[in-house]
Amino acid sequence: MPRRRDPSKQVSRRSHRGCHRCRLHKIRCDEAKPHCGPCTSRGYADCVYAQVLKWETDYVGRAFGRAGVWSKSGTGGNNKKKSATPPSTLDNYWCLPTHVHSFGFLNSFITDFEREESSSSSSDDSSTDERKSAALTLRKNLGCINRPVKYVQLDSQAESHLLSYYLDRICPMTVPCASGESPFSALIFPFAVSSASPALMHALLGLAASHRARSDCTYQPVALSYSAKVIRSLRLTLENKSSIDIAANSEILVLMMLLCQLEIIAECDKRWVTHLRGARDLIRFRRQGMTSDAAKMAARQQSPWERIIKFTERYFAFYDVMGRTACGEEPIFGNDFWPAQEDEGLDLWMGCSPQLVSIIGEITELSFKYHRMSSSTAEDCWQDLERQRIRLTCLLQQSHLKSDSADEIIRNTVELKRLTVELYLHSALNDSTPATPVIRQNVKKILRLVAVLLEADVKAGLTWPLFMAACQLDPTEELEWAEGDVEDRTSPRYARPFVLYVLDKLADSLCNVTRTRSVIEKVWKQREAASFLSSDRQLSPSPKAFNDWARFVAPFCHNISLA
């Protein structure tokens, strides 16, 4: 029998506030400070009162005795009313949180500040594109273009939907205004329908599936399947037909053009340049083979489709000259293609006249020529370069390069291209930097016209002007391009966020926005890293760089498509 408790003594209760040793050995602690009685009697010099923090759920579950765990009502300690937490609204914040848009995210890695041996390698660009391809998704509602095409005999309902997507979605994006006639619908589509070979129709369906794959990954194998069919058909045609038939067959050139466009939409790596080089050889072979009588007879049979041949040749030459404006590499198509077409007027598909494209080609040729010269040789030829620059500047001021169309969108599109050529002239043939006043003024004008056209839902022809302006932004200044009377209040007013905003809007266009944004970010990081260098190192030019553009922009632009 236990002894009866003395009623005169105080009731001993277990406590949470004992010292660490007493609680560890489960000894009653008198909680005397600084040393409790049990620790003093046992000769311990240290007596630590430690406070152990616990989660609330663990604390409630391990409560002493019946406190908070058991009660006759069966509800335990949960019958107490909990204080309601106020709802999380913006009014409860002292400072509103900053909303970070998806298009405004920039990330830097240690490799961005290391010196790379070959920064123009396509493998590095492709790996960067793969990391960021998931960040760019389409936000357009595609439900309005799900109606199938019924007037063309196709194998399945899925092919009818893809052909409808090509006509209703892809073709309107190739021209700046809805009233304009796209050559992809006015020339290529009738040619594919009338062709006896299914390869052309497979190429159109593959083009539509490749574009749909940007927003729906289930279309990726469909696009690859159509592309494989077209390549297989093209290979069999080249193997089985004679050289005269190949030179006179317009279907081969159209297939190569559609394959080139498909690669630009899909990956925009070196494969589209492979089709470009193949088309150059085919066009050269076609022109040389037209001297024989048999070739002339075969060409007369193809005469109804002569407009298609002219369009495909212009397509390849235009994509070649626009891509070389960034990298400054050796041309694939010679610049002699454009002077023969200078008498023609505005080409709505290009967004300018052939004469303006000829000026772009001349600037690129001069840049390529002087970029390969040594510093002493370039100094001797500086006067000749200055004369050429003045001549091209005068050509850009001619009135016939501007449009007098009643459509404001067409006028703005033509003026945007002309201003971009002026910017490119100063960047490629002068040692102009982003801090040069004429560069800053042209960048502001270009971004304002881009904002106007984007507000009008125009996406054709904006990639090249946006790229040229973005690569000429001063890293030490946040350029404010917008004026006070800008109608669109949702777009950023400063240049760098606005460029990313426009690239996000162009995610569903026919150009490869992922590669374009990757190059722009690399140029920005390179310029910002160079701005931290000392003035003597910054002013000393690189022995391989002809000017500012060749130093900061050209090394990253290998095989890029900007048309």
Q: Of 299, 284, 281, 200, which is closest to residue 244 (Cα–Cα)? A: 299
Each of the 563 residues of the chain gets a pLDDT tens digit; together they read: 567 777 777 666 667 788 989 988 888 888 888 889 999 999 888 888 887 777 777 666 665 555 555 555 554 445 444 445 555 565 555 666 666 666 665 666 666 555 444 444 444 444 444 434 433 433 344 444 455 555 465 667 888 899 999 999 999 999 988 777 899 999 999 999 888 889 999 999 999 999 999 888 899 999 999 999 999 999 998 888 887 777 778 889 999 999 999 988 887 667 888 888 888 888 887 777 665 555 555 555 555 578 888 899 899 989 989 988 888 777 777 667 777 666 678 888 998 888 899 899 888 888 887 766 655 555 667 778 888 888 888 888 876 677 777 788 999 999 999 999 999 999 888 878 898 999 999 999 999 999 999 999 899 989 999 999 999 998 888 888 877 655 566 778 889 999 999 999 998 888 888 889 999 999 999 888 888 775 444 444 444 556 788 888 888 888 888 88
- At 431 the three-state DSSP class reads coil
Assess if residue 375 is contained within a domain: yes
Q: What are the residues whose beta carbons fall under 8 Å from the beta carbon of 57, sequence distance 6 or more?
A: none
Both 209 and 286 in one domain: the answer is yes
Assess if residue 374 is contained within a domain: yes
Both 287 and 385 in one domain: the answer is no
Both 219 and 288 in one domain: the answer is yes
Radius of gyration over every alpha carbon of the chain, rounded to an integer in angstroms: 35
CATH for 41: 4.10.240.10
Assess if residue 136 is contained within a domain: no
Assess if residue 325 is contained within a domain: no
Both 416 and 297 in one domain: the answer is no
Q: Of 420, 435, 423, 461, which is closest to residue 530 (Cα–Cα)? A: 435
Assess if residue 230 is contained within a domain: yes
- From 301, 316, 342, the end of a domain falls on 301
- Count other C-beta atoms under 10 Å from residue 162's C-beta: 26
Q: What are the residues whose beta carbons fall under 8 Å from the beta carbon of 42, sequence distance 6 or more?
A: none
* Rounded CA separation 321/169 (Å): 26
Q: What is the pTM of this model?
A: 0.72
Domain count, the chain: 3
Both 294 and 371 in one domain: the answer is no
Which residues on neighbouring strands pair with residue 347, listed in sequence order? 352
Both 422 and 466 in one domain: the answer is yes
Assess if residue 19 is contained within a domain: yes
Both 338 and 463 in one domain: the answer is yes
Which residues on neighbouring strands pair with residue 494, listed in sequence order? 480
Both 378 and 234 in one domain: the answer is no
Assess if residue 314 is contained within a domain: no
pLDDT at 142: 41
Extract the tokens encoding 104.
Answer: 């405004």
* Rounded CA separation 279/34 (Å): 92
- From 279, 301, 323, the end of a domain falls on 301
* Rounded CA separation 406/411 (Å): 8
- From 280, 301, 322, the end of a domain falls on 301
Both 340 and 448 in one domain: the answer is yes
| Ordered alpha helix ranges (H), 269-347 | 270-289, 293-301, 306-327
pLDDT at 414: 92
pLDDT at 89: 60
Both 416 and 355 in one domain: the answer is yes
H or E stretch at 395: helix 382-396
Question: For the chain, how long is the longest CA-to-CA vector?
Answer: 132
Q: Of 440, 456, 444, 561, which is closest to residue 505 (Cα–Cα)? A: 456
Assess if residue 91 is contained within a domain: no
Domain membership of residue 42 as a residue range: 14-63
Both 563 and 434 in one domain: the answer is yes
Q: Of 346, 347, 339, 337, which is closest to residue 313 (Cα–Cα)? A: 337
Both 296 and 388 in one domain: the answer is no
